[in-house]
Amino acid sequence: GAADIGVIGLAVMGENLILNMASKGFTVAAFNRTTSKVDDFIAGRAKGLTILGADDLPTFVSLLKSPRKVMLMVKAGPAVDAFIDMLAPLLDRGDIIIDGGNTHFPDTVRREKALAEQGILFVGAGVSGGEEGALTGPSIMPGGNPEAWPTLQPIFQGIAAQVDGEPCCDWVGQGGAGHFDKMVHNGIEYADMQMIAEAYSLLSGVLGLSAPEIGAIFEDWNRGELDSYLIEITAEILKKTDDETGQPMVDVILDTAGQKGTGKWTSVTALDVGAPANTIAEAVFARILSSLKDQRVAASKVLRGPDAMGEKPDQDAFVEQVRQALYASKICSYAQGFQMMELAAAEYGWKLDFGSIAQMWRGGCIIRAAFLDKIKAAFDGTTELSNLLLNPYFTEAIGTSQTAWRQVVAAAALRGVWTPAFSSALAYYDGYRSERLSANILQAQRDYFGAHTYERVDKPRGEFFHTNWTGRGGSTASSTYNA
Ligand code: NDP
């Protein structure tokens, strides 16, 4: 065969990745379940390029150089298993299958194990950046069978986004680590988006600014520490006018958010591994609440907000406070994402390099942002950083912005402006920095009603005590009833 790699799945992502690979000098074989799409692609966008079409799977496989590399860019789920089942008998030991779709990481763990038994190296690679990223340079997060990496590295790092000469792609880890990394990326993306929406609603609700005025403020913010793709596109979105009505586009778009479920995976997984990713989960709940539009419309006629709104704050001062609140909240959601990866790595036995993960998110993907340089620097300097907030840069950044942040959250609460992500990020900060929390009360309650026992401040950790609170309960502690 002549092809360096083969790609199956000619929808937006697959086609654009193939064109990207060809533009970097690779020869690529292309296949799709509906084979008419192969013919259309070869006669259309792929015309004259180093792209070879195949009308059946054996031909496709015969086009590939050994060890064969087959990348699946098909709908996540049964389509991936279907293609693996058809490909495996056609491949040799040492050949590589890569799933580049938005697969939930437990599926990748399962497939990697099953294929390893047949001598086939399986890789689950998260790909971010949408259609345009796929074409011009996505962020790629590969994980799975590490034996596959040396063979894949030149292609993946060659087609990935580059920032300061460094590719936004590196080996993440074994098993499902690549897809896990992509999942956390998406959770952080949910939180980033929600926080930007909250900044918008504060500037509009408290200051009464119009969409294009807020767009200009975001454009200004994009020149500072908030410099990021999502701030940039939101500035453009806010300035766009609807052709039909002449109103700002955002004012004619219905306020019900959709989702495809990756933020939910992140939140459920955070609960599974015991990670306090409350801001990421809050962003998912925010979308869910927004989608209950009919209930909200009805409730808005019944449930009262605050009576007095107070005076409108000074515009420039409030804009700056919201900017700082956004930055502080953003730091917390990233801290939660990295903390979650650390806890998951311990649970699943992965060795993750967080500096390298920050570099992979630095360009190409939806959450790309200048401040990921600071995150990379924070983790590059040490192997023992249990929380991003404890890195001196971030400790200082959040310490200086906290006054503004608290004022914004307070103003939102007093005026009844909905800011779930800002508020939950602040709750995370205040919880994480507390030497003593109110969980002593929870332990006392649990021991009172269920004899669940507690530890004491004046005794070593791991020694458990039970109190007969009522004088009726006796001294038997429970280990079965868990509430
Ligand atoms: P889609 O998710 O829409 O999937 C379409 C492709 O899957 C087509 O090639 C289709 O073949 C194939 N397919 C669907 N069902 C089956 C099946 N049962 N058996 C065989 N083939 C099947 O395409 P996208 O390009 O949008 O995404 C590809 C992957 O990349 C997905 O996992 C997606 O989540 C992920 N992704 C997408 C991004 C985006 O911005 N769109 C960004 C990052 C990742 P056919 O033509 O025959 O129907």
Instruction: Please tell me the residue having the least CA distance from ligand 1 atom 22.
Output: 79
The predicted model gives 66-91 an average pLDDT of: 98
Q: Residue 406's domain is classified under what CATH number?
A: 1.10.1040.10
Asked if residue 323 and residue 308 are part of one domain, the reply reads: yes
Asked if residue 208 and residue 145 are part of one domain, the reply reads: no
**Would you say residue 170 has pLDDT above 90?**
yes
Containing structural domain, residue 232:
182-432
Asked if residue 232 and residue 186 are part of one domain, the reply reads: yes
By residue count, the chain amounts to 483
Whether the CB of 86 sits within 6 Å of ligand 1 = no
Computed on alpha carbons and rounded to an integer, the radius of gyration of the chain in Å comes to 26
**pLDDT of res. 272:** 97
**Would you say residue 448 has pLDDT above 70?**
yes
pTM above 0.90, yes or no: yes
Instruction: Please tell me the residue having the least CA distance from ligand 1 atom 23.
Output: 11
25 alpha carbon – ligand 1 mean position (Å): 25
**Interior angle at CA 336, CA 421 and CA 371, nearest 5:** 85
**pLDDT of res. 483:** 56
**pLDDT of res. 250:** 98
The three-state DSSP-derived secondary structure of 415-426 is: HCCCCHHHHHHH
- Is 112 annotated as catalytic? no
Whether the CB of 131 sits within 6 Å of ligand 1 = yes
Picking from 13, 8, 173, the residue whose alpha carbon sits closest to that of residue 91 is: 8
**pLDDT of res. 476:** 77
**pLDDT of res. 49:** 98
Instruction: Please tell me the residue having the least CA distance from ligand 1 atom 2.
Output: 75
Asked if residue 474 and residue 383 are part of one domain, the reply reads: no
| Atom of ligand 1 lying closest to residue 126 CA | 44
Confidence of residue 311 (pLDDT cuts 50, 70, 90): confident
What's the domain count of the chain? 3
Asked if residue 469 and residue 364 are part of one domain, the reply reads: no
- State which of 120, 145, 175 marks the end of a domain: 175
**Would you say residue 309 has pLDDT above 80?**
no
Tell me the ipTM for this assembly. Answer: 0.98
Place of tokens 């360096």: 4
**pLDDT of res. 482:** 54
**pLDDT of res. 132:** 94
Per residue in 237-250, pLDDT (tens digit) is: 999 999 999 999 99
Asked if residue 346 and residue 198 are part of one domain, the reply reads: yes
* Backbone conformation region of residue 274, classed left if phi is above 0, alpha if psi is from -120 to 50, else beta: left
The predicted model gives 439-449 an average pLDDT of: 97
Asked if residue 274 and residue 205 are part of one domain, the reply reads: yes
- Is 182 annotated as catalytic? yes
Asked if residue 425 and residue 378 are part of one domain, the reply reads: yes
Q: Residue 71's domain is classified under what CATH number?
A: 3.40.50.720
Per residue in 365-404, pLDDT (tens digit) is: 999 999 999 999 999 977 778 899 999 999 999 999 999 9
CA distance 266 to 285: 12
Asked if residue 272 and residue 219 are part of one domain, the reply reads: yes
**Would you say residue 134 has pLDDT above 90?**
yes
Asked if residue 261 and residue 168 are part of one domain, the reply reads: no
- State which of 175, 190, 212 marks the end of a domain: 175
- State which of 140, 175, 210 marks the end of a domain: 175
Residue-averaged pLDDT of the chain: 96
User: Which of 8, 12, 13, 367 is the pocket-test mutation for ligand 1 (most atoms within 8 Å of CB)?
Assistant: 13
CA distance 337 to 415: 30
| Atom of ligand 1 lying closest to residue 9 CA | 9
**pLDDT of res. 218:** 98
**pLDDT of res. 255:** 98
* CA 400 to each of CA 222, 321, 325: distance values in angstroms, whole numbers, following the listed order: 20, 11, 11
Asked if residue 139 and residue 204 are part of one domain, the reply reads: no
CA distance 117 to 140: 26
β-strand pairing of 51-53 with 69-72: unpaired
Asked if residue 262 and residue 215 are part of one domain, the reply reads: yes
**pLDDT of res. 480:** 56
The predicted model gives 407-416 an average pLDDT of: 96
**pLDDT of res. 474:** 72
The predicted model gives 298-325 an average pLDDT of: 94
